[in-house]
Amino acid sequence: MASSAIDSEIFGDLFGTPAMRHVFSDETLVQRYLDVEAALARVQARLGIIPQEAAVEITAKAKFENFDFEAYKKGVERVSYPILPLVEGIVAMCKDGLGEYSHWGATTQDIMDSALSLQIRDALEIIETDLNAVADLIADLAKQYRDTPVAGRSHLQQALPVTFGYKAAVWLSGIERHKQRLAEIRPRATMAQFSGAAGTLASLGADGLKVQDALADELGLGRPEITWHVMRDNVAEIVTYLGLLTGTLGKIGTDILMMMQTEVSEVFEAFKHGRGASSTMPQKRNPVSSELMIVAANAMQQQVAQMLGGMLQDHERASGPWTIEWLALPQAFIISAGALSQARQTLDGLEVDADRMRRNLDLTNGMIVSEAVMMGLAPHMGRQVAHDVVYDACREAMSAGTSLYEVLVKMPEITANLSNDEIKALCDPANYTGLAGEMVDRLLSKYGR
């Protein structure tokens, strides 16, 4: 029975996905161990190190369905590491003692690290698919709402107008960088490991590097420059990357969550009957996917910290720090997949209320564009003088409960330099979105969208 949220049949699909859990399931993990042992036997047979019939037998039997999983579990409990009981299981499965040729010249961590690289390779394919889907959804929002004005906010206060397309494009910029990072780190995160007990391949003599290269090719993994038993930056890097990715998703979730507040009501997660409903307040529509994206970002901070701590390895084979990866790395991938899944649900059908955005822009009675008025006056009276004049006008408008425009058109120092039409244009938030649209275009063009 599951005892954690990410493995729970109740909560699992809120914090992860079935596809990613499958990659890191016991069944898949054991099969990856068996895949590495079988691949090792095949390449060693081709190099004349072990008999060909042994490689054929080991490959034929190295299937999870042939494996005595119950005996294996008891073996792992006894040894506290998973490979010696695995090799015992292979020997038991193979006929005529041919299983004795499995694990030839290898050490436990060789098999585990190569299997881990296979898991990471599969997991990154899932991440990449979801990342591309999220990028496409955000790009569509950026295009559609390129010129839709919305209040830009600083310190949770209205600052200056932007456009919702610009806001989405800022989200997209982070997602696109994550796509680039993924391409860059994938080769470092998917290297084979085969180096023997102390990393020197002493057990195979002159054939060691030949076996290492052939095994990497057989598994479709990268060839390492040197043993990485205790140099775990490549593994820590991938979890750190996932921390960055979920951080970006958490930022998107934060924006959407805050824009869904009743008093703001500018965007809403896609409606689905009952989703985000309250047990006692029928009117509620909670931003549940956004909340889960934020939770994932927070949870990932701990996984990253654990992986960085696990880099402190001693000598040529560590006394145990690397085992933290057994806990942190699968959770990191599952949590990240869950966050991406929630992002897809949030963004696919995101409801955007452009009218409400405009009404919110007008809440300050034109003061959100006080900078525009100041810059319009600056050529006539100097920037600092213009700042002080508009500052006084804003105070008067707030005190009187009227619009900035109504105050400005009654001020002789203003009307002496600007016509009423010019003042009115300066006070319209839709006219002061700067180069938001051009920035959206530039970003979309850079990424071929």
In single-letter form, the type of residue at position 197 comes to: A
What's the sign of the alpha-carbon dihedral 329, 333, 334, 339? positive
Residue ranges in 220-352 assigned as alpha helix (H): 233-259, 288-309, 324-347
Chain centroid, CA 329 distance in Å: 14
Distance CA 215, CA 39 (A): 7
Going 262 to 267 to 269 to 273, the CA torsion angle's sign is positive
| Contact between 118 and 32 (Cβ < 8 Å) | yes
387 is catalytic: no
Residue 407's pLDDT is 87
| Residue pair 296/246 in contact by the 8 Å Cβ criterion | yes
Low-confidence ranges of the chain (pLDDT < 50): 277
Which pLDDT score is estimated for 49? 96
> Which candidate, 115, 125, 122, 86, places its Cα nearest to that of 102?
86
Residue from 211, 220, 214, 218 nearest 190 by CA: 220
In angstroms, how far is CA 276 from the centroid of its own chain?
23
For the whole model, what pTM was predicted?
0.92
Over residues 42-88, the pLDDT tens digits come to: 999 999 999 999 999 999 999 999 989 999 999 999 998 899 999 99
Phi, psi of 101 (to 5 degrees): -85, 0
Domain boundaries, the chain: 12-357, 358-446
User: Helix, strand, or coil here: 352?
Assistant: strand
What top-level class would CATH report for the domain 358-446? Answer: mainly alpha
Note whether 125 and 23 are within 8 A (CB): no
The domain 12-357 having CATH identifier 3.40.190.10: the answer here is no
Structure tokens at 236: 């820590």
- The token pair that represents 62 in the structure block: 């190295």
144: Cβ contacts below 8 Å, ≥ 6 apart: 165
**Rounded-to-integer distance, Cα 164 and Cα 170, Å:** 10
278 belongs to the catalytic site: yes
Residue 343 neighbours by CB distance under 10 Å: 30
Active-site position among 3, 154, 155, 319:
155
Q: What are phi and psi of 11, to 5 degrees?
A: -105, -10
